[in-house]
Amino acid sequence: MQIASSPYGVTADGRNVTCYTMTNSNGMQARFLDYGCVLTHLILPDRSGKPTDVVLGYDTLADYEADPAYMGALVGRYANRIKDSAFTLNGREIRLAPNDGANHLHGVLSKRVFHGTVGNDCLRLTYTSPDGEDGLPGTVRITVRYSLDDNNVLTMGYEAVSDADTVLNLTNHSYFNLAGHRSGRIDGQLLQIAADTFLETADDTCPTGQILPAEGAMDFRRLRPIGGEPTCEQMEMVGGYDHCYVLRPDTAPAALAYCPQTGIALTVATTQPGLQLYTGNYLEDVPRPGKGGARYVQRSGFALETQHYPCAPNYPQFPSAVLQAGQTFRETTYYQLHILNQLK
């Protein structure tokens, strides 16, 4: 793997931003910013040899600064939602800033500039989140490691240490379209998720605390078209899929996606307990055009966000998202892209 760097622009408040380009021996390329750890491009030859960029994004830093959809970004300190922007930790009520109705969504890391260093086999991005950022306790030192190998595996590794008990949930918020980022809706692409259950969702997109069997329209245990048009009550409440699936432990891959048109397949493996499937239900509301002037429409990309459960601090029956002082948070996700002449 080779890593090159180049200036990408200057933020509105005067901070320089760098783009890092990773290229492997197969001609696959991944580009990252130190602004929000954003994955801007993920390019590989399709079945016919045509270079295909399979993630949605923008052309300029100003677009990413104004982006309401978290395209390609690291999200946290608590990815996904915390209902009513509040929870109790060690007997103390923690109040967060509501930014999704009454709820707290994703946090501010997608708008922070990280410090980038290039090693022999990875890009290392670091940031110290001060005590009280996002309303959360603890000064948290965060490290994100990105690497791309010659098997077309893009690895995203997360580490963090806090000086006080806190909660933490980190993930990448890329939108994939395996036919190419500007090819339109993803309805005909296929998806499989290694999950027998999912978190029931209320109409504010927060979990209710109940875990339901993945049946009917919610069942991705076998490879099938993603679709996305609401066909059941759970989908109707959120305009498509925006649900956390409970991954089977020690099952690999956690997810498989495939585009019959291009032959591009994506497999996902992770150490995280959940996977949020989001089908870009509101992408038509994004005010700015995407890369190359592309207009992203509703369901023109899908996100496979490996993470701890949304609202976990409010539901003791969910796996704990508490990071105790001095302990190290470690999670890793692997996205592998490959070409299939036909799906077996």
Residue 333 lies in a domain: yes
Residue-wise pLDDT for 60-84, tens only, equals 999 999 999 999 999 999 999 999 9
Domain presence at residue 295 = yes
- Bridge-based pairing of strands 255-258 and 303-307 is unpaired
Tell me if residue 173 is catalytic: yes
Position 122 in a domain? yes
* Helices and strands: H and E segment counts in the chain: 2, 27
CB burial of 280-309 (b: ≥16 within 10 Å; e: otherwise) equals: bbebeebebebbeebebebbbbbbbbbbbb
pTM: 0.96
- Residue 340 pLDDT: 87
- For 183-196, how does the pLDDT look when each residue is reduced to its tens digit (9 = 90+)? 999 999 999 999 99
47 falls within a domain = yes
CA 12 to CA 231: how far, in whole Å? 43
Say if residue 253's pLDDT is above 60: yes
- Position 313 in a domain: yes
Classify burial at 330, counting beta carbons within 10 Å of its beta carbon; exposed 0-12, middle 13-18, buried 19 or more. Answer: exposed
Domain count, the chain: 1
Q: 177 is in which domain, residue-wise?
A: 2-339
Please write the tens of the pLDDT for every residue from 279-315. Answer: 999 998 888 999 999 999 999 999 999 999 999 999 9
The one catalytic residue in 106, 181, 243, 305 is 305
Is the pLDDT score of 341 beyond 80? no
Which member of 104, 106, 173, 181 is catalytic? 173
239 in a structural domain: yes
Residues facing 167 on adjacent strands? 322
Residue 73 lies in a domain: yes
CATH number, residue 220: 2.70.98.10
Query: Residue 131: which pLDDT band, with cuts at 50, 70 and 90?
Result: very high
Residue 92 β-bridge partners = 89
Q: Is residue 344 part of a domain?
A: no
